[in-house]
Structure 1
């Protein structure tokens, strides 16, 4: 009896241990499953087996089989998830590749947007509305100012060439004449205004002969400023400001004259000045180069700023181009409006006993460089410098002066607001 009871006790003692082993194994299996779900791609390790005992071999074998089945199921689920993710990635890559093949061309990274179409829009608007360009020519009589302007634009637009057989005595006092023409080329319209200054430097006493020119330039700035300050201003303000002033130097071969220095000192602060050597065909190549070197030295020693100014260079590429232009200033030019036959081709030139001086040939003169500067490469820059720098300087100065005058008026009217002064003023009235 005692043996049976001891056997029953032993079995009773073993059964809780087996149940505990099953519970522990199930708990360990759940923990491993949670870790496998959280880690994603990590493989789930099989739960550790309980130490084998002779009386519980079958129970542990069943537990092992159940654990293996669970592990196999988890591995199959993970494989399916990985396959689904791989398929999704492949589909996304294919869709992105299709988009790139459809929109991206060449080395572009984000495809064509169409921003460059803005240039076409601006071009169409400019062609419809046109634009203004105002140029002033200053120099003594007989230096070929009108002829050079006609050569620049290849048409008779100067003051003396507006009508055939135009003969008028040029006055010997500085009077400004402005003539406007509408020029159209390949659908682009430009309103060109040429301001001539007959009589400049022709008198014996040329003191203050630049004052009418300075007054005219400031009047155009004032006119534009008043239009801007109007309450109901125009949608497009007419631009009569001087964008460029071509200053003609006589081909003396010496240095700048005092009138040249004084004029360019005063005008260089309010307008873009481009100096040229008129009728440079009267100088030899060596004389012309020496004369240009002396003029550049005089400009630097007197602090005269001519266009293009170094302080206005914004881009390194523009600086390189402008440095080349500054090295060739002043331009040695020759002007004419007559055509001649040279090797079967019609060219603009001056006929002499020893040959024809071709105006547009760089080996003969620098007229082509001047035309490229004024029209083909820097025309818009001349207008931008005039508006953003020269006119802006004038506008700030005028507004400061008006504010000072307004404050002075307020201070002078302030005592009248006191009681005694106001009564006295009323009694006087």
Structure 2
């Protein structure tokens, strides 16, 4: 048995090597040994005579030929070459390709900043991106000039001017203008405007196009009813622009101007959220990634900050307002998962913004604010949550903000928009075409159509039968009524005749009883 096994191995390896060499154009497969290698394989039949070995080989070949019914050609003098694949396929470089493409295209972030005036929105943006996007000195000068102009106007409006000294035409024109202005503008409201500031920031060869959307005038009036409506309208308008760009024929140059994140600045009152804060959050939390921040938190103590955070979280949870939550994935390590939970648990972030370099007690130059009792460092997590906000917004989860805007918020708005326009998706276009399945579906549709036609024909036949039965029943009822009427009429006539007959008989009897007996006249001859 050992000899038979070795001979079979010898024959199979030889045939495999030669046939593979012919099939591959003289190139041998990697795992098939050459003829020379097969001779070098130790065989258990080495102790047998050569004649016996050749006899066994011939008998094995004859048996295989009888089974297959084919004659194997003589394969002598075939040279088998070895060929090995060097290196790897190359798909391991896909992340590098994506990295080069991303660097070439650059990144973008559309950030919406909403809050009352004086809460440090411009300072925080300059601190976040370490670039003077807002000119704070020019803004302060403009605010001071506007304040002086407003005070001067109030003094002029309140000055004692004798109307008799003004011309009548000029006085009438001023009164008309004041009436028109009073009708057009409510003095208790402040108009909310939408302004966009665009800049490009580069860090270590990575370019970021930053679009900061500001809403000056929000919450600055006495009557702030519907102050959030222009902001919600702006978010929807940006969604509509992207939806229109997707529906165009040429979609190569689609500009993503959707709002990726919304920083809402909360006034550090240490009490609770105002009605305006809650209404705004309820209006936008389904349209953008909402990230609340407590502005100028350096005026509160650590205990007051924690208490204020707990109050805000409770109010938002009671109102069902969803904040941006850093995602967690199965393949995340423990450190990443813990960092994600920490960033979410710190909301709302108590922040302090400053671009000024100050000196600490140990001589370090840091960004912060200097007070008589010490220095507050902006980039120190023990002093404020600015580091957590920067990690969430830029360093760690910027692409997650864009991904959620693309796959969740925009898709929700798009579905609602198309549903409002009565546009429904045909899921059949996404099915793979299978002829057999298509034939079965057509057969089922044909059978269903025949069954429907048969049911309709039965219904029509039954309806006609019912109509005919009703018609016959109606005719039968009419004939019965006519027969009854004729019978009643004949009965009345018969009764009338019998009464008349009876009256005649009675009249005859009466006449015979009342008339005297007639005497016979004597004749002439008698």
Give the aligned partner of residue 157 of structure 2.
Answer: none
- Report if the CA contact (8 A) 1:156-1:162 is conserved: no
Please report how far the alpha carbon of residue 205 of structure 1 lies from its aligned counterpart in structure 2 after TM superposition: 1.7
Kindly provide the CA deviation profile for residues 147-181 of structure 1, in whole angstroms up to 9, marking residues without a partner as x: 000000011113x4496886254994211111100
- Report if the CA contact (8 A) 2:7-2:56 is conserved: no
**Structure 1 residues 47-196: aligned runs within 5 Å:** 72-73=49-50, 112-158=88-134, 160-161=135-136, 167-168=142-143, 169=146, 172-196=190-214
CA distance, structure 1, for counterparts of residue 343 and residue 139 of structure 2:
37
Structure 2 regions of 5+ residues with no counterpart?
10-46, 58-81, 148-188, 425-526
Aligned residues, how many? 317
Give the aligned partner of residue 229 of structure 1.
Answer: 247
**Structure 1 residues 205-244: aligned runs within 5 Å:** 205-233=223-251, 235-244=252-261
Give the aligned partner of residue 422 of structure 1.
Answer: none
1:372 aligns to 2:391 (yes or no): yes
Please report how far the alpha carbon of residue 300 of structure 1 lies from its aligned counterpart in structure 2 after TM superposition: 1.4
CA RMSD of aligned residues (A): 3.3
CA distance, structure 1, for counterparts of residue 395 and residue 54 of structure 2:
74
Correspondent of 1:246 among 263, 274, 280: 263
Correspondent of 1:304 among 321, 340, 348: 321
State the SS of the aligned residue for 1:295.
Answer: helix
- Report if the CA contact (8 A) 2:113-2:262 is conserved: yes
State the SS of the aligned residue for 2:91.
Answer: coil
1:381 aligns to 2:400 (yes or no): yes
Change (3 A) 1:392 1:351: same
CA distance, structure 2, for counterparts of residue 146 and residue 122 of structure 1:
34
- Report if the CA contact (8 A) 2:270-2:308 is conserved: yes
Please report how far the alpha carbon of residue 337 of structure 1 lies from its aligned counterpart in structure 2 after TM superposition: 1.3
CA distance, structure 2, for counterparts of residue 125 and residue 41 of structure 1:
57
Change (3 A) 1:164 1:127: farther
Change (3 A) 1:291 1:384: same
- Report if the CA contact (8 A) 2:263-2:290 is conserved: yes
Please report how far the alpha carbon of residue 37 of structure 1 lies from its aligned counterpart in structure 2 after TM superposition: 4.4
Give the aligned partner of residue 284 of structure 1.
Answer: 301
Kindly provide the CA deviation profile for residues 291-343 of structure 1, in whole angstroms up to 9, marking residues without a partner as x: 1111111121111100117xx65546365543222211111100011111233
CA distance, structure 1, for counterparts of residue 310 and residue 272 of structure 2:
9
State the SS of the aligned residue for 1:135.
Answer: strand
CA distance, structure 1, for counterparts of residue 398 and residue 319 of structure 2:
27
Structure 1 regions of 5+ residues with no counterpart?
1-31, 43-69, 81-94, 104-111, 406-429
- Report if the CA contact (8 A) 1:41-1:78 is conserved: no
CA distance, structure 2, for counterparts of residue 164 and residue 303 of structure 1:
37
Correspondent of 1:394 among 413, 419, 431: 413
CA distance, structure 1, for counterparts of residue 55 and residue 219 of structure 2:
98
Kindly provide the CA deviation profile for residues 47-81 of structure 1, in whole angstroms up to 9, marking residues without a partner as x: xxxxxxxxxxxxxxxxxxxxxxx97557766999x
Correspondent of 1:351 among 370, 377, 386: 370
CA distance, structure 1, for counterparts of residue 312 and residue 328 of structure 2:
22
Correspondent of 1:362 among 358, 377, 381: 381
Give the aligned partner of residue 277 of structure 2.
Answer: 260
**Structure 1 residues 398-413: aligned runs within 5 Å:** 398-403=417-422
Change (3 A) 1:78 1:375: farther
Please report how far the alpha carbon of residue 125 of structure 1 lies from its aligned counterpart in structure 2 after TM superposition: 2.1
Change (3 A) 1:357 1:41: same
Please report how far the alpha carbon of residue 128 of structure 1 lies from its aligned counterpart in structure 2 after TM superposition: 2.2
CA distance, structure 1, for counterparts of residue 301 and residue 341 of structure 2:
25
